Amino acid sequence: MRLITGHARPSGRAVWTAGSAAAVTAAAVAGARAVDADSTWYRSLDKPAWQPPGWTFGAVWTPLYATVAWSAGRGLSRTRGRQRARLATALAVNLVLNAGWNHAFFRRRSPRAGLAGTLALDLSNAHLVRRLAGADRTAAAALAPYAAWCLFATALNASLVRRNPAA
């Protein structure tokens, strides 16, 4: 915080991190609203033995979302102009795809639509990491667990498609 004319003013990084956290939270809430892991449809799917128990998803996604917000805030605070706009756009697209997977998979009850969504998210993750690396390598590296978890989710989703061809 900087002291300006007697008032505390948040640093640019704090502002960008708070804005990123708000965007990530909105995406998390929008995505979570579509999930219905207790539905008869979802419970009836043939799932692989290596699928984690339900509670792990919340336990994993919470710190991953925090890392996305931190990384984005750090990257956005270190960019200006066109570079910042491109990074913000990459983040926005990524968050829409992230939340959209839940809608494609659970709301549409379509593992195939979910697979398409998660493949798009993986591509978006690579693009976001590349954009972040141009601004801050530490911020980009911090997204490795998020990208890895999304790749795991893609493998899980692909297994569900293969095991449930009629779904």
The CA distance from 95 to 104, in Å, is 14
What are the mean pLDDT values of the chain's consecutive 10-residue runs (167 residues total)? Answer: 52 90 98 96 98 94 97 96 97 98 97 98 98 96 98 98 96
Predicted local confidence at residue 1, as pLDDT: 45
The CA distance from 163 to 94, in Å, is 28
Predicted local confidence at residue 13, as pLDDT: 87
Predicted local confidence at residue 6, as pLDDT: 52
Predicted local confidence at residue 3, as pLDDT: 47
Predicted local confidence at residue 45, as pLDDT: 98
Total-model pTM: 0.91
48: left (phi over 0), alpha (psi -120 to 50) or beta: beta
